[in-house]
Structure 1
Amino acid sequence: MQRFTLDQLSTLRALIEVGTFEQAARHLHITASAVSQRVKAMEQSCGRVLVRRTTPVALTDAGSVVLRYARQVELLEADTLRSLQDGGSAGGAVPISLAVNADSLATWFLGAIAGVADELNIAFDLHREDQERTLSLLRSGAVMAAVTSSRDSIQGCVTEPLGRMRYRAVATPAFVERWLWPGLATLSEAPVVTFDHNDDLQDAFLRAQAGRPGAAPRHIIPASSDFARAVLLGLGWGVLPEQQCLAEIADGRLVELAAAHPVDVPLYWQRWNLSSPLLDAVSTAVREQALRTLRPLTA
């Protein structure tokens, strides 16, 4: 197999990021035919189909392997240029792609990366995904690191604990008076707010406290801050991160449904097992912010 050229690798990255050959051509300032020829040459070189010609394009399993390699080459090149310039800017912002769950993104994660973005001239590309599904992005090569609920490292990655994100089941006083006056026994009949169809925090709490799944109306609110606001407006009960409900519980705008039974979700940081000062700096910033804001896993 012939080695991939830097032009070929950058073309594959651009194609996956923008989704079509035409958009990749505009991004790279070449023709769509040139983009197609480069991808075809890569496929002929390795003897595998790398890209499915759909709209938008999709990677094959082999394509995911090559994309991951392309992103690693890009990162190593940026690290090398920074070292040659004694840590200064390499002439342009270095793209760092990360996957993070919506609740972390809405509460503590942005505080972790805000400082290093300017200090190291990094352009972050954040992929919002459920903490149980961020690994698929890491495995495909779409991201370099991810906040995940799995402590088992995927191939080529290392894992370190971040802490526990604590959630509390809450509702407004008026909602409790209307729907839950007999107690949690009627919780399965009360309207509930969920993030999306993959969000099982409310169902897990319901099974633990009421002993059966709910059959009440389910409001889907697919944004963390809007989810919290929907609960605060009385649309339904929900399980919120502490950072989004402790103040409201304290001032009486929300009522905790089972104070002795919070829901804890362990979070881990998985990243490429690659020696990179830039990725190391990002990982350190995430770890330090998690230490300040999350509960320890061992407590």
Structure 2
Amino acid sequence: MTPIRFDNRVAIVTGAGLGLGRAHALALAARGAKVVVNDFGGSLSGEGGSEGPAEKIVAEIRAAGGEAIANTADVTNFNAVTAMVLQAMDKWGRVDILVNNAGVLRDKSFNKMTVEDFSFVVGVHLMGSVHCSKAVWDIMRDQNYGRICMTSSPSGLYGNYGQSNYSAAKMAVIGLMNTLHIEGAKHDIRVNTLVPAAATRMTEGLMPDNLAALLRPEAATAGMLTLVDENAPNHYILSAAGGGYARCQLYETDGIFLAAEDQTPENIRAAFAAINDPTGQKVFENGMEQAMKLMAKAAKVI
């Protein structure tokens, strides 16, 4: 099997000072990529800031013979993100890969959570991904090549108590991918999503030591590498945890059609068994496909 390499590719990894981001940056560099190691250097909840984490990873990469530069841009600040991308362009003249990994936690049950904490977490995860993707988008279009990896979470796909802000943000980046993969396709910009579970500072104290040892960040990173290489898929959601890998897709059942005079909540409730029937369910690549399915059903009756 041909090894996956990133020679002559330039990658930006956000939140790369610790945990998953660190593993991502080191692995990309080890396989030949030139890496912008971005990390604001703040606490888990987003306070403070330091150059230390990013500089440390850059030193590790350089010590191993790789090329890297450090950046401490706050991904919620679009001007700072734009400056980060310009830094990469000034240094290496291109940007091929973006891994949107930066994240924070401010966990509380919804009734106790402040709107400020909800907005902040959404700002980092969702708007951080928007800012970084927007800053590299025209570059990738102009060079007719780009690979963007969003980072979601099992909490985003399925929910988790005390994480309404985090869950909402992590599902939102999948919605962002759903449209960007369409808009970028003709320029060979492929946009995918990693759904990792790994033992990092975000999970400290939440799992026994034996499980933490199994959930190595490097196992999830192996999945990320497959989503950003030259032969990467497009519009792919890859779950990766502890050596387990699976594809996640949103299915829609074939459903039913009700004529205008029958479109009542009672009739819909009575038809739940048919609506829920998985026979003929499909995965749609865009919203128009779903609309066309519904119109086709209507056309059979009208």
Question: TM-score, normalised to structure 1's length?
Answer: 0.28
Return the structure number with greater strand share.
1
**Larger Rg, first or second structure (1 or 2):** 1
